[in-house]
């Protein structure tokens, strides 16, 4: 059976907030358009570019920073390495002059247009680049940001983008369980064998530790940054105050000593619950501030998996690099199954496709990490998603702030609860499989009214005007 080969580094990407589909994806699309110009030797001949944003990219693009992303991409900036503190100044200069330095080589005119009343047929997140070059040459390409930072170009041959033959091809959770039962391997071991088709094991482990390092830095930075989030919604950062209260005057000077201070504070239920919320809040407050985050599997849901992994490290004897690697491998495979069989795009499926999927990924990873069987891990993933079904995406003012940031805390707590339920249960008696709940999620997504799919035209976005401080 044909299968889509998705790597752990497709599911976990380092980038810039606030949205993987509305920021990272368009940014990557812009970089791909530059590649086209370079391949045709047209970069030096280009004198203007117009970018057209359609559908959800237009309706929530301002709040999600889509215009900022495409401008930075056209400048040739890499979202993985760009100095995030420099973005605001660069964009302000570009917007004031309507000019940018294409691929950091040549000054050109640039314009970004929001096509609020138009949606392209393939996906709600469509954008087109139109380049005018010397000798009356015009180049145009259309891309779709399909969630989690994944980008496809209109007319692209998908077979060329997924040519890796994996030893254990997986489309469904049933496929995954089949390979586990046939080989006796755990989920993370099956995933690692597949990753070996791309690179050697040492490279995969090094890359995953870099992913975790980026998550840790984001979490630590978010817990030590105070003030108000940008965008005009007047949302006050909460992780700073919560961290200060929970740490209770213990001294520390870096992540490791901070981690020790947290451990020294105890392990009662309320204390742990507050810390899990703090971790998730910290990351998504950073995400809302155009900080560097890791899609997990999206930016809007970036706080769930790191919060649950940090919980495992601090309160469940998970403070070991190999355990972190195994956790991330298992989580990524569950996320890739959702992407193949449904969606991880809120513009296609509502927030169930983001927070729901991230919670499901975290639940499976935690369960296996705590000694659960493969079937218990998939049971935990099912439980977590089952209780996110139907969740809408209704960001106030198109900003990834309310209700997005708090939803990460809920997703993390649900993942832990789902894991505990699965560990204390027998999958033999489960009535709902992970594949069935994924199908149900996709059916629900297709039935959901478009205004609840990242348009800021329904739900809380309709009833809480931008600028009010009710949140």
Under CATH, to which class is 16-161 assigned?
Answer: alpha beta
What pLDDT is attached to residue 2?
A: 62
Residue 5 burial (10 A CB sphere; 0-12, 13-18, 19+): middle
Low-confidence spans in the chain with pLDDT less than 70? 1-2, 157-163, 466-471
Looking at the chain, which residues constitute the CATH 3.30.1330.90 domain(s)? 16-161
* CA 190 to each of CA 59, 180, 185: distance values in angstroms, whole numbers, following the listed order: 41, 7, 6
Tokens coding 232: 């005009």
Rounded to a whole number of angstroms, the distance between the first and last alpha carbons of the chain is 48
- pTM of the complete model: 0.94
What pLDDT is attached to residue 161?
A: 46
What pLDDT is attached to residue 123?
A: 94
What pLDDT is attached to residue 464?
A: 86
Separation CA 408–CA 390 (nearest Å): 16
Orientation of helix 187-195 relative to helix 355-369, angle to 10°? 110
What pLDDT is attached to residue 4?
A: 85
Rg (CA), the chain: 22
Angle (CA) 435 440 441, round 5° = 95
What pLDDT is attached to residue 467?
A: 55
* Segments of 103-223 assigned E as strands: 106-115, 126-133, 137-147, 150-153
- Give me the residues paired with residue 51 across strands: 112, 129
* CA 391 to each of CA 20, 364, 388: distance values in angstroms, whole numbers, following the listed order: 19, 20, 6
Note whether 366 and 431 are within 8 A (CB). no
Separation CA 70–CA 247 (nearest Å): 40
What pLDDT is attached to residue 357?
A: 98
* CA 224 to each of CA 234, 243, 255, 292, 411: distance values in angstroms, whole numbers, following the listed order: 19, 8, 11, 15, 22
What pLDDT is attached to residue 159?
A: 53
What pLDDT is attached to residue 448?
A: 97
What pLDDT is attached to residue 469?
A: 46
Tokens coding 327: 């956790």
Helices assigned H by DSSP within 7-52 = 8-11, 25-39
- Quick one: how many helices (H) and strands (E) in the chain? 21, 8
């Amino acid at each position: 059976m044909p299968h889509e080969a998705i790597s752990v580094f497709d599911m976990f990407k380092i980038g810039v907030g606030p949205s993987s589909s509305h920021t990272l994806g368009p940014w990557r699309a812009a970089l791909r358009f530059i590649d086209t110009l370079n391949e045709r030797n047209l970069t030096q001949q280009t004198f203007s570019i117009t970018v057209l944003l359609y559908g959800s990219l237009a309706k929530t693009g301002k709040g999600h920073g889509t215009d900022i992303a495409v401008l930075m991409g056209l400048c040739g900036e890499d979202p993985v390495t760009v100095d995030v503190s420099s973005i605001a100044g660069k964009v302000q200069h570009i917007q004031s002059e309507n000019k940018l330095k294409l691929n950091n080589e040549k000054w050109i005119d640039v314009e970004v247009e929001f096509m609020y009343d138009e949606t392209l047929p393939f996906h709600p997140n469509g954008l087109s680049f139109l380049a005018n070059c010397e000798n009356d040459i015009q180049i145009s390409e259309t891309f779709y940001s399909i969630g989690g930072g994944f980008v496809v170009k209109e007319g692209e041959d998908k077979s060329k983008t997924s040519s890796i033959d994996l030893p254990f091809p997986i489309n469904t959770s049933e496929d995954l369980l089949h390979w586990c039962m046939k080989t006796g391997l755990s989920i993370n071991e099956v995933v690692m064998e597949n990753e070996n088709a791309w690179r050697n094991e040492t490279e995969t482990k090094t890359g995953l530790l870099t992913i975790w390092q980026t998550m840790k830095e984001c979490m630590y930075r978010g817990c030590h940054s105070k003030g108000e989030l940008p965008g005009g919604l007047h949302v006050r950062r909460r992780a700073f105050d919560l961290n200060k209260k929970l740490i209770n005057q213990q001294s520390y000077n870096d992540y490791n000593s901070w981690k020790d201070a947290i451990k020294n504070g105890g392990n009662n239920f309320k204390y742990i619950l507050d810390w899990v919320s703090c971790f998730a809040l910290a990351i998504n407050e950073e995400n809302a501030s155009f900080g560097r985050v890791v899609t997990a599997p999206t930016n809007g849901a970036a706080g769930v998996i790191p919060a649950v992994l940090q919980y495992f490290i601090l309160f469940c004897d998970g403070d070991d690099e190999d355990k972190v690697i195994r956790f991330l491998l298992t989580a990524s495979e569950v996320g890739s199954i959702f992407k193949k069989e449904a969606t991880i795009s809120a513009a296609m499926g509502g927030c169930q496709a983001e927070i729901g999927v991230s919670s499901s990924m975290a639940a499976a990873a935690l369960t296996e990490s705590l000694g659960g069987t493969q079937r218990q891990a998939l049971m935990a993933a099912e439980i977590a998603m089952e209780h996110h079904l139907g969740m809408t995406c209704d960001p106030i003012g198109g900003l990834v702030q309310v209700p997005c940031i708090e939803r990460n805390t809920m997703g993390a707590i649900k993942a832990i609860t789902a894991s505990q339920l699965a560990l204390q249960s027998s999958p033999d008696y489960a009535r709902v499989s992970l594949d069935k709940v994924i199908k149900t999620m996709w059916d629900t997504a297709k039935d959901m009214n478009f205004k609840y799919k990242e348009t800021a035209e329904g739900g809380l976005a309709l009833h809480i005007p931008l600028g009010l401080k009710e949140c």
